[in-house]
Amino acid sequence: MTGSVERIAVEFAGDGAGEDALSWGQSENWSTIVAIGNWFPLGGVKPLDPGTTVEDIAAELSYLMGRYQPMRTRLRFDADGRPRQLVSGSGQIDLEIVDAGDADPGAVAEALSERYRTTDLDFTAEWPVRMGVVRHQGEPTHLVVLMSHLAVDGTGALIMMSEVAAATDSPVPELQPLAQARWQQSAAGRRQNDAALRYHEGILRSVDPRRYQPQQPTDQPRYWQGEFDSPAMLPAVQAIADRTGLGSSTVLLSLFATSLAGITGIHPVVLRPIVGNRFRPGLSGVVCTLAQAGLCVLDVVGDSFDDVVQQAQRSLMRAYKHGYFDPAAVADLRERVAEERGAAVDTACFFNDRRGAAQQMDVGPDRQGALSLDGAAPRPGTFRWVLSQDSPSLESLFLQVDDVPDTVHLTFVMDSHCLSLADGQALVRGMESAALAAAADPSGIAVGAVSDR
């Protein structure tokens, strides 16, 4: 049985108060928040070290609220209903303390996290972070923290966690979201956006609007999430990366495009790689949301796999260059092109490598010979469906790579009206088989074979 719940008001103050339009990163995430109908949180439960006090956690919350502008940012809507960022110089936020009582404190923490995740957030009145402490027999045991993607993306969260752990007191980078919005409205920002719009328009006008063959909607519910783990892919992908001199992220994107073309029979393949944008001047260390979905085209038919990887690298570089833009302007462009072409161009196919800046796979000595141990075929990866739902997904297909030791770990979300469940599984297994074949013989693999469907 859970015990008492109390709230402590935590005071904070920081530099950089003001109001402006949303930054491009904020605008992209606000569109997602509106579309999915929740506050788009990330975070969860963290066990606390013995001896941690409530006062320690309160001090940490005060630190992150004062240091990071996005944590003390709320929204204000103008007369036309457009959101603007409103950064406060000071204020207070509640830290919730939940006594586990006779219940398991870990389970209480998970329940608290789920309550935070599923409770709507008022962006005009509440701060975009929720923090609570679970206490058992008088001792804090778990910390629960959830933050909206409107405030921070995955890389920003990692930067923040490292600075909080070190109690960093050096000045924050200058290009906080308020400064980003002001630069984006400058002549230099307009030039960047104009170039991105020209790039996007060239692709939207040149590719087939279709991305998938029509499906009979037999799979229920409609939206599915799967996971695939392939230890055998790990040394194979790294071998290709070493041979081509390119990163494993580019290799994985190439495998994704190759397998997708084979399943759908539609090429060139149009993908939206998630662009972190922290390679841009003044943005490398900013705690905020900067990631945006770029756009690139890969023609995988008729080339060797190494050629596909080289082409993918060139296409990715163009996508990264033009992956910093005003999402509202791109949305307007898409509508105009769709009206003029008589069909909307489906680009809802995403690739997100979340393994960090290096994105280099760690292949230990025990995995180096995995492709040729006694001539035995590598063991196939393991696949499972983990979630299905009727509520809409934002994309037809979203493939994500996560940093899991000793394996290539892929998670994907798909619309079964675009791909069947069998094709969804075949997609990731096709990536595995293509990786193993290309690692063994880069010129002997059939790239982008067109399906008979």
Question: 5-167+174-184, what's its fold?
Answer: Chloramphenicol Acetyltransferase (3.30.559)
Rounded CA separation 237/210 (Å): 29
Supply the pLDDT for residue 368. 45
CB atoms within 10 A of CB 393: 18
pLDDT for 160-206, tens place per residue? 999 998 889 998 988 999 999 999 999 999 999 999 999 999 999 99
**270: alpha, beta or left, given left = phi > 0 and alpha = psi -120 to 50?**
beta
Answer for the pair 102, 74: CB distance below 8 angstroms, yes or no: no
Q: How many other C-beta atoms are found inside a 10 Å radius of the C-beta of residue 315?
A: 24
Tens of pLDDT, residue by residue over 307-329, are 999 999 999 999 999 999 999 99
Mean pLDDT to the nearest integer, 284-291? 95
pLDDT, tens digit (0-9, with 9 covering 90-100), for 241-279 = 999 999 999 999 999 999 999 999 988 999 999 999 999
- CATH topology agreement for domains 5-167+174-184 and 208-440: yes
Pairing of strands 5-13, 41-47: unpaired
CATH class of 208-440: alpha beta
Residue 45's closest CA among 100, 6, 121? 100
Domain ranges for the chain: 5-167+174-184, 208-440
Q: Is the pLDDT of residue 303 over 90?
A: no
Cα–Cα distance measured from residue 175 to residue 188, given in angstroms and rounded to the nearest whole number: 14
Least confident of 42-51, 91-100, 386-395: 386-395
